[in-house]
Amino acid sequence: MAAMFEHLVRVRWRDTDALGHVNHAVFLTYLEEGRDAFYTQALGSDPNYVVVRLEVDMRAEVRHLDQQVAVRIQAERLGTTSLTTRETILTSSGEVAAEARVVTVRWDPTGRQPIPFSQTERTRLAAAMAGQPPSGEPPPQGTISSRRAATLGD
């Protein structure tokens, strides 16, 4: 069981295509915005990571009229240099628009190579995975939820 982080993303007019719904490629941007917000809150700083694996299942369309989507992030597995997450995009009505499994790797932008998470980062990520604030303070409103959700199997 993993805690769930939620981040709201505004649906922009430019996100839509000729069919009147959000283009599938934009779903990756929504997921990235949610993932960046998760990492920023969990680690307390801007994230330095690269995506090394990404699986996305589209479930429903998102339209500009939805105005915003909710991106939910659940950390599934913490490795030495990697973090695997389950990510979900929900429409404004709560319908699942997309489900993703993403593997990211902690990245050294100077050395241009993967680096291990520090012990502090590992502690903070483990706390986020458990739905606990990283250093004893209460979580900000509307972000990491104390609700538990079942982790999808491999």
- pLDDT reported for residue 92: 94
- pLDDT reported for residue 142: 46
Over residues 88-99, mean pLDDT: 97
- Which tokens belong to 102? 């993403």
Model confidence pLDDT, tens digit, residues 46-90: 889 999 999 999 999 999 999 999 999 999 999 999 999 999 999
- Domain encompassing residue 40: 2-149
- Mean pLDDT, the chain, whole residue set: 87
**Residue 136: is its pLDDT beyond 60?**
no
Model confidence pLDDT, tens digit, residues 22-45: 999 999 999 999 999 999 999 998
Establish if 124 belongs to a structural domain: yes
Establish if 154 belongs to a structural domain: no
Model confidence pLDDT, tens digit, residues 8-21: 999 999 999 999 99
The CATH number of whichever domain residue 20 belongs to comes to: 3.10.129.10
How far is Cα 109 from Cα 94, in angstroms, rounded to an integer? Answer: 37
- Which tokens belong to 95? 């319908």
- Report the number of distinct structural domains present in the chain: 1
